[in-house]
Structure 1
């Protein structure tokens, strides 16, 4: 499955890839949907179909829709398959149909035009120079170590042979003959001569999750049991190949979407890895929402000229390098048989060896006559007793004051407070500020006067988790009733306490400020958690910025129909608590549009800064810095880079706009909040007006 294509100079351009979850036999509908996504968001360079593509095998003598569609695919009769990009599929959790295996053997993987079945364990290099590795099948601990040969497509499992073959293939250079046939080597010399200098790959696709992928992550899991159900052999694979992107399909039953925070390989010049698990295509909604089943992204092929990637602001510890297993303790026999490091091999006279005179049992089994002191079982030692994992009767966890689990298994053991430190136990109150959300050593009030090294440590950015972020969709406290549109990368929502007066708070204000239904003041928010737009990693920023611009254009068009112009502003403030990037959009009457630029420039002086005309591309020079940005009604952009520790009000944009509109009493958003019933009425009115402009529709 090595690629025939050698990367060229053009490989430096980003490659757009669409990854989709398990089709489970709905092949026709999947390709129709892929074609629609490609037309709307493409053009994609290739599509990766992970997980179970064909679905469970049918009983002999029976044919269902899935079986019919499999045959239609092999015969080239599936409508929508004729796309301009290649679609790569893999084996999921079921054996593949005999007809698919036969077609694979005949064509070395090409099932029909532009649809290729990847080897169960192998690697290919695309025409763009990307190395994509695949490990199909499911993990079973017993079969993994006992299989006499690598299981083929007729088996749903993979074994040690499968993994060894994958790792050996990652060392092989690309063949010049075929995209789908593996090279064979007849001697150690030929292997060494043809080997790649490293095993690193750009993309890894698997069916199972690795065992330790959830460690160090604060992203909420769709199912709690996923933290302990991964395949341990995958951990070693990832330590060797270190993929920049890893996609998996079997995230629970039914599969759910889960995106982990990125992590960094410090010994590979800051190489960044990202893990994404996708839901199944066409899956039933759980909890009122269908799981996300596709993921579009851009990735730049590796090149010596590429700059070292910046460390993502939300990066966590590397779960594959920073939680190594504790070394096994030496046994007494080993200790007594080794040389003393001072005196040499001196026999230990007078010590009675710790042995049992009774005959020994099987390896790992207790000797005859042994009974576990905890449960009186004769089948295991007390160290592996299942009862030992359970808390004794009446035990209450001292962290959360809840019975049923030990301290080491407490789900709140690693919870963080509102300033990034440990979350206090129930009943704790900070003596400095009376907060219940942090200990006094993490209190910004208590540490406000500190200087020197300790003060500098306090000022480091401590990224807040999605479960406490106001804008993350996974936060159960998010005001979801205010959301008006959800795209692939961003969503649009009315804010709490918008600038424009509506409903009951129009009284005393100029009701003619805006005629946009529902007020028109909205936020554009990236779905992924990033503190500011200029901290989004370059390899994933393009689709997010592109969709943000589409929403901006749509809002401009909507406002124009109500004789208003759009003003967009963003406070990209990096703080010790972090944040979530978002752009605010406010309609301003066209008659006032010419006053916006001067209003911002004149008032900017009050905040120890001057706004200067610049192109939005110049924001890259401010990467890692705080900034304020405003898009004027004429399309030009003003940007102010905020100096570290310089005073700058986060309500600056709101203050300027309320002055322009003549409603200075609406600077404080909290004073402008409406009852939920009135918010819902505004949402309904705005969604109706925005429907014909909404790019997500």
Structure 2
């Protein structure tokens, strides 16, 4: 049975009553980067109580006079909803107008595509959490949620129930659409502890203390994406590193969104990012574990969630008001020392074994979990999907892009070798050694020009254009850059479908910004990419080189001429060739010409391809043949810092990350 197609989703932060402007902006984004099939509006769509809630704009919305460009779902944030909205909710089962649906304070939505979206809105009031709501008060007329609302939401029979088998292993339940984990979770508040294990910079010094403790109960839903909008004093954008659950390697991502509407930022501060575009395929049946992202951490809820029972039936339980200690682990818990399910690690009889128990802050480098040394790791001898040893997290097979086996155990590599292609036995590069991974301390950081949320821009070592004023282009600092995804993937075509949209979107924004920068200095960009799933290299990137505007229409001719001299042919339909390469895993070389057209060459098995081909062609075009080899163009660290600084200054007014 084929997998369902991916769904393009756009999530946005609080509109704060700027409804017409929000939908106008969404319409523009949809035309440029869509079509999107869902719009998820987190936080406060209508804004604070008062005149704004009674405005003509709200009336026009409820009367169907405002265009809602795509199916949109809204929730409750910090404020009670306007009474006229609450009244309309009761009249039409949640539909406020064409394409706009209010999901109430809590709800489970199963879209026509099969996506399972959980919504739990409102704020956390510790003093009123365990107090019942008066019968004559509508839940949407108050800002906070209470224990009864949370308990009722978690009791939904379509959600995983405490004590039942893992959703990933309950095949019959999954096939019937019951007791599955959800795809997307929308809450207003952050869950307490979401920053645990995260090594990225936090958005605020106080953010480790942000969040609602009861929302940790929602962790058992294991959403693939979790969006929130009310973490701190003001809405703020922050994307946490992906985190992985132990039992089934399910990957979750948490994103806090800034506000679309509301007051303008203070002088000197930029507006927080308020939107997030992504693609996600519904999981309608049990599937193979997801590849572990190179920057993934353990789940921040794995230890907390297993030590505190989420029994909706009552008893001594912190969620329902009694923070009592439990003595028996929940289903699925395993002691990290002896693997027993009958006691917590603190009660393990082997805990006193001295050298077998690591210190509290020790984390195993194989599985990224505390509680045992590397030599005792249960995953140390794990078997990959082809029967050989399973690689460590972050490893990517260069033959097929899988993270589940080494290249020596890869069927694709074996087939190529038998077919006459030279086997590549060189040691492969992982994120800890990769020249382009920011997590590698050996990365040359003084060359970095800009860092976005998905990609970064850096000048290369030994860039092609001279920077002393003698070259054919006058872009400050040379202008030759690489645009590199922050996450470690061997090619852009190998990025998972549910992650590729934000990466490509940010790459395109950087390309557009570079085009504007070059234009200021009489130049146009040429972009090229070498995409190989084999070989020692292994981090996707594109190179962007400025050429004088008068040579822009000569670029295609130069690539045709130099390619022909090397026995290369070019595909008649570049887009179709890229689509086929994505499906088949073929290696390719791509050029984006200054006029927006593409050139694509599919690499032939068994034939060598010069990785410097793109640079050599442009060196010939620019009359810089003596600079075709980057090693002949390197300079001192001080000179590189100076060039990068000049380019950064020239780029600043166009930089999409600022």
CA distance in 2: counterparts of 1:323 and 1:642, whole angstroms: 51
Aligned to 1:541: 500
Cα distance, 1:659 vs structure 2: 7.1
- Corresponding position: 1:160 with 2:139: no
Q: How far off is 1:100 after superposition?
A: 1.9
Q: Secondary structure of 1:145's match?
A: coil
Of the three residues 189, 201, 221, the one matched with 1:220 is 201
Any idea what the Cα deviations from partners look like across 1:539-598, whole Å, max 9, x if unmatched? Answer: 121453366468769989989x9798835135779999x997431122565667656578
The answer on whether the counterparts of 1:521 and 1:585 sit within 8 Å (CA) in structure 2 is yes
Output the CA distance in 2 between the equivalents of 1:201 and 1:465: 37
Per-residue CA deviations over 1:47-98 (Å, capped at 9, x if unaligned) read 111012222223xxxx3x44315642454376xx313422211111122222
**What aligned pairs does 1:399-438 form with structure 2 within 5 A after superposition?**
none
1:332-391 deviations in Å (ceiling 9; x for gaps): xxxxxxxxxxxxxxxxxxxxxxxxxxxxxxx99xxxxxxxxxxxxxxxxxxxxxxxxxxx
8 Å contact kept, 1:104–1:117: yes
The separation in 2 between residues aligned to 1:494 and 1:130, in whole angstroms, is: 41
Partner of 1:250: 230
Which residue is 1:122 aligned to?
107
TM-score, normalised to structure 1, is: 0.60
Q: For the residues of structure 1 that align with 2:446 and 2:538, how far apart are their CA atoms?
A: 14
Shift of the 104–217 alpha-carbon distance from structure 1 to 2, 3 Å rule, reads same
Contact 1:120–1:152 (CA<8 Å) still a contact in 2?
yes
Q: Which residue number corresponds to residue 124 of structure 2?
A: 139
Q: 1:107 aligns with which of 89, 92, 97?
A: 92
Q: Distance in 2 between matches of 1:602 and 1:315?
A: 45
Mapped to 2, the partners of 1:462 and 1:676 lie a distance apart of 24
Cα displacement (A) at 1:421: 14
The equivalent position to 1:277 in structure 2, one of 245, 256, 268, is: 256
2:37 pairs with 1:72: no
Once the two structures are TM-superposed, the CA of residue 478 in structure 1 deviates from its matched residue by 7.2
Q: Could you tell me how far 1:278 is from its partner in structure 2?
A: 0.2
Instruction: Give the distance between the partners of 1:582 and 1:616, measured in 2 at CA.
Output: 16
The question of 1:664 aligning with 2:627 is answered yes
- Report if aligned partners of 1:469, 1:579 keep a CA contact under 8 Å in 2: no
Between the aligned partners of 1:542 and 1:264, the Cα distance in structure 2 is 21
Report the CA distance between 1:29 and its aligned residue.
Answer: 2.4
Alpha-carbon offset, residue 13 of structure 1: 2.3
Residue in structure 1 matched with residue 385 of structure 2 by the alignment: none
State the shift of 1:247 in Å.
Answer: 0.4
Preserved contact between residue 447 and residue 641 of structure 2 (Cα < 8 Å): no
Deviations 1:399-434 (A, max 9, x none): xxxxxxxx99xxxx89999xx999xxxxxxxxxxxx
Contact kept, 8 Å, 2:463 with 2:630, in 1: the verdict is no
TM-score, normalization by structure 2: 0.63
Q: Structure 1 residues 141, 535: CA separation in 2 closer, same or farther (over 3 Å shift)?
A: farther
Distance 1:653 1:238, change over 3 A: same
Q: Distance in 2 between matches of 1:566 and 1:44?
A: 30
Aligned to 1:27: 19
Return the alpha-carbon distance in structure 2 between the equivalents of residues 72 and 102 of structure 1. Answer: 13
Secondary structure at the aligned position of 2:635 is classed as helix
Question: Could you say which residue in structure 2 is the equivalent of 1:209?
Answer: 190
Secondary structure at the counterpart of residue 144 of structure 1:
coil
Note if contact 1:123-1:170 (Cα within 8 Å) is conserved in structure 2. Answer: no
- Tell me, what secondary structure is at the counterpart of 1:108? coil
Does the CA-based 8 Å contact 1:556-1:566 persist in structure 2?
no
Distance 1:32 1:214 in 2: 34
* Corresponding residue of 1:3: none
Q: 1:655-694 deviations in whole A, cap 9, x for unaligned? A: 7755773133872465187587876766677899xx8xx9
Shift of 1:533: 2.7
| Corresponding residue number in structure 2 for 1:16 | 8
Matched residue SS, 1:569: strand
Q: Deviations over 1:254-307 (max 9, x none)?
A: 111111122234544x43221111011145336632110111111112233976
Equivalent in 569, 589, 614 of residue 529 of structure 2: 569
Q: SS of the counterpart of 2:215?
A: helix
Alignment partner of 1:28: what SS?
Answer: helix
Higher radius of gyration, 1 or 2 = 1
Aligned to 2:243: 263
Residues in 2 aligned to 1:127 and 1:635: alpha-carbon distance in whole angstroms:
36
Q: Deviations over 1:202-223 (max 9, x none)?
A: 1110011112321222121101
Distance 1:664 1:124 in 2: 58
Structure 2 residue aligned with 1:500: 465
Residues in 2 aligned to 1:257 and 1:214: alpha-carbon distance in whole angstroms: 14
Q: Distance in 1 between matches of 2:302 and 2:605?
A: 36
The equivalences for 1:183-332 within 5 A come to 196-239=177-220, 241-268=221-248, 270-282=249-261, 284-285=264-265, 288-304=269-285, 309-321=290-302
Distance 2:482 2:429 in 1: 28
* Residue of structure 2 aligned with 1:52, choices 33, 44, 60: 44
**SS at the partner of 1:233?**
helix
- Classify the secondary structure of the residue corresponding to 2:109: strand
* Displacement of 1:99: 2.1
Quickly say closer, same or farther: Cα 1:495–1:27, change in 2 above 3 A: farther
The residue number in structure 1 matching 2:541 is 582
TM superposition shift of 1:463: 8.6
Measured after TM superposition, the shift of residue 32 of structure 1 is 2.4
Structure 2: gaps (5+ residues): 161-172, 310-322, 325-358, 371-425
State which of 98, 105, 111 in structure 1 corresponds to 2:83: 98
SS at match of 2:140: coil
| Count of equivalent residues | 520
The residue that corresponds to 1:83 in the other structure is 68
Is contact 2:6-2:497 (8 Å) kept? no
